[in-house]
Amino acid sequence: MKKKIPIRRPIINRRIFVKRTSLGMSAIGLGLTSCSSPKQDKSAGSDVAETSKRKLGVALVGLGNYATNQLAPALQHTEHCYLAGIVTGTKDKEQIWKDKYGIPDGNIYNYDNYDSIVNNEEIDIIYVVLPNSMHAEYTIRGAQAGKHMMCEKPMAISVTECQQMIDACTQANRKLSIGYRLHYEPFNAEMMRLGQKEVYGKITELEASFGFTMGNLDQWRTRKAMAGGGPMMDVGIYALQGSIYIMGELPVTVTAKNTTINKEDWKDVEGSLEWEMTFPSGVVAKYETSYESNIQFLKAKAENGFFELAPAYVYNGLKGVTSDGPMNIEPVIHQAKHMASDPPGQAYGCIYQ
């Protein structure tokens, strides 16, 4: 049975929302700017000038699949920042990454000496790529070490932890970015433009889904204590966020139900989930997310046409179509756009200004 829950949210009008999202708004509502930002001391003009001319150093915390196969390679294509260091709990990975990326010994850390990164002036930004339950701790400690912070989505596993992360960065006068790459991906940016600019008129229907069949069930994503939940915390976020930036509105109600197919396999978290969200304009959006089936699309119908992506969220091979024909858009390296590029009219980059 679905239970409708009103969403308590800050008051924000459409004009402000559209302005923020067009600037690459993150999950905490701050705008991104170029990576060529001052590192620490903003009072000394010479320090600012010197820092603005050099690349900013990024340290990756957690060297799992995403860091290894996406972030590290993407950092080889960024103009204003570079892979400067790593933090890993696996000793064998240290030499592999050192040899592959030329990382000096002094920029290699483990989870025990992580806090000593405060003394490393070559590292400006820390990017946390750990299981969800570890996001808050390592973001807070990184901010306390004086570094600007990037953290993978979901931001954390509770509202309380999210607020603690924001507070820690605020108190340390450091910036915080959440790694939602699709704000900087051109197909999704086009969906945002078509919806918020009402190119085909007002939105009348929205549907979104993202799911895949998980083969290995012996991983942290299947454990609630580490993941915070099932596919919603992992891939459902893309469907949810996609509809929000199409509408240019934040939802006011949500209803959801557990639609897990094989409940014997999914006892700790749900294996599948369906939900609906109502937006202030009256549009009711429908969603699916799953670890039990392969689904992926982002679709919008409007008064005078339609526009959609399928696939919508993967790293490459995205395809879009509108009622006027296919979207002819050049693909990009998502993570490189997210971390360090500066195309005209947009504000992408490593850290918040």
Structure tokens at 272: 């599948």
Strand-strand pairing, 148-152 and 272-278: unpaired
For residues 148 and 41, give the distance between their C-alpha atoms in angstroms, rounded to a whole number: 13
Q: What would you report as the CA-atom Rg of the chain, rounded to the nearest whole angstrom?
A: 20
Q: Which residues pair with 128 in a beta bridge?
A: 61, 151
Q: Which residues pair with 178 in a beta bridge?
A: 151
Catalytic residue numbers? Answer: 153, 238
For residues 67 and 85, give the distance between their C-alpha atoms in angstroms, rounded to a whole number: 12
- The SS3 of residue 35 is coil
**DSSP assignment string, 15-45:** HHHHHHHHTT--TTS--B--S----S-SS-H
Residue type, 236: G
For residues 293 and 211, give the distance between their C-alpha atoms in angstroms, rounded to a whole number: 6
Number of Cβ atoms within 10 Å of the Cβ of 5: 10
Angle (deg, nearest 10), helices 159-171 and 135-144: 10
Angle at 235 between CA 234 and CA 236, to 5 degrees: 105
